[in-house]
Chain A
């Protein structure tokens, strides 16, 4: 029975891990193609989710600002937009955001040290967070694009029949896993079998060489940031549906960082495996150890695990080993 209960914890951890993997995936894509360690990936997910809710509910963008500046009281256009169409619009906005980031930030930071780029994305994260709040308000928003939610009775009955113990698993988590798998498959297909995908991999391998065979770096970067924006949107939909669209979403997304440290910054399978390990690990740790030390170990478990792990294998599980030379 103890074992079965732990298995249930494990299964739920796996599902949380899928979410981490989704955000981590966005990091890896950008890092591989542009060498930028995009701290703002989590805030991009938050921003995408906020925008999606804003569009669906027909909110007036910058309503707060307009009201304050002109002394009017606008808040809503009075219409609602169907989920799928709103997702499409949000995806377009994320592409626009990618273009703006390339033009306003990345272009001017070419050739800077990685750590400077990293700090620039921290600035970007703050800007986006403020922008999201100014555009759509800082209230906790409910996001419902029609994904099934609630405890899956099928799983409960099935496990009850087989094992004599019904697993409680949220249907949303199952869907998240399926969608995440589909997304990864689509991304792998894209990078392996399309012209743009090959160009993307070429840039990831060697900027100079890619430039010299006529690949437009600018185009690739916009494309990669757009894809990352789309991945952020998917992650935002999942997280937002699960726990509401609010600031803590970007903090949860911070956990993608230790995921990457486990998996290595350059490896897509690494992002997936790392996410699953962290998701399961923190749930199991909380279950077995957390109760003894006052709980809420999920706040730090991922980071400490990654830290300990890094000391012994600095390049991560799947990362490439770095040979130093002078």
Chain B
């Protein structure tokens, strides 16, 4: 079985626009989904869930969100951490104020609230561009974290200033709180990640996605062919923040269980997610997953090799990780600005020609 599209004819424009145009890709995708849903939940243990899979899925959602804003619409944001905090505190307030409502509704609503906040902080993008905007989004980052630290209403006046996720269940299974099993944590994050990735794919291949990319590639030309920059940019901020907000809500309620704004959602979160999309690939949904996987796995790997194998101190491993991540960012920007996703695409291109490359 060769990897190619010859013989795989499209007979309608509908087929031509589908996500995986090559049949083998489609099969591979279904196989991965089947394993993820039907096999992994039964074999997962709490180490794999907490160290790798759950953070991977949550950061993938955040990375897709930032990729919509930065990779597709071309607006660089350094406020991701702040927007994740909005999602986290929104879901916390909703969970504690309306305990009878299903948690999934809360998480989606938290995303919607973050979308509104995102639009608010996206307004300056109509006047300023490029790194001016990047720096302006720092205002969102620092202001929001400060707000959640200083206004006791947000953390329900708890003495520690922390927020703690109460237990909530779906169909009798605990998905938040201390009683949650590894597979429940994993499954709820998986469902959100798969559905949101599908939504992101739909949005980016349709007319709103083309508006975003037009603004990204040449904003003046986009306006002259009829794209309203106001709605294009603000919709990118809204959708992006919706995704990021859901990631923040999941990170707090399902993964961490307890959080404090400046610790869990500091400026370093913003950079972490930005790095994920640079390494994974700007303007690629697959790249968002690849980048998230890479940056979640790297510290785990370094820890296992440097600390567990060589017996080096943990802080040294953390510093070396900083160096590696920094160097990789520079490396990817120099060699392959489209990241891992592009490398993957090139590999597939070669595979298509194999074994007759000429």
Contact = CB atoms under 8 A, between A and B. Distances in A.
A–B contact (CB under 8 angstroms) = yes
A295 B325 CA distance: 35
A39 B18 CA distance: 40
Interface string B292-319: 0000000000000000001111011001
A268 interface: no
Contact of A119 (B136, B323, B333): B333
Contacts of A124: 326, 330
B221 A326 contact: yes
A299 B146 contact: yes
Interface stretch (A74-82, A170-178, A304-312): A304-312
A213 interface: no
Contact of A123 (B127, B220, B312, B328): B328
Contacts, number: 147
A322 B325 CA distance: 35
Contacts of A114: 130-131
B320 to A, nearest CB: 6
B128 interface: yes
Contacts of B323: 126-127, 130-131, 134
Contacts of B337: 112, 116
A326 B271 contact: no
B150 to A, nearest CB: 4
Given A307-B124, A311-B128, A125 B326 contact: yes
B343 interface: no
A47 interface: no
Name B's interface SS: helix
A293 to B, nearest CB: 7
A52 to B, nearest CB: 19
Interface in A41-72: 64-65, 68-69
A324 interface: yes
A9 to B, nearest CB: 20
A59 B313 CA distance: 19
A126 B325 contact: yes
B327 A294 contact: no
Given A123-B328, A310-B124, 5 more contacts: A114-B131, A122-B271, A122-B329, A133-B319, A260-B135
Interface of B: 76, 123-124, 127-128, 130-132, 134-136, 138-139, 141-143, 145-146, 149-151, 220-221, 224, 267, 271, 274-275, 278, 310-313, 315-316, 319-330, 333-334, 337
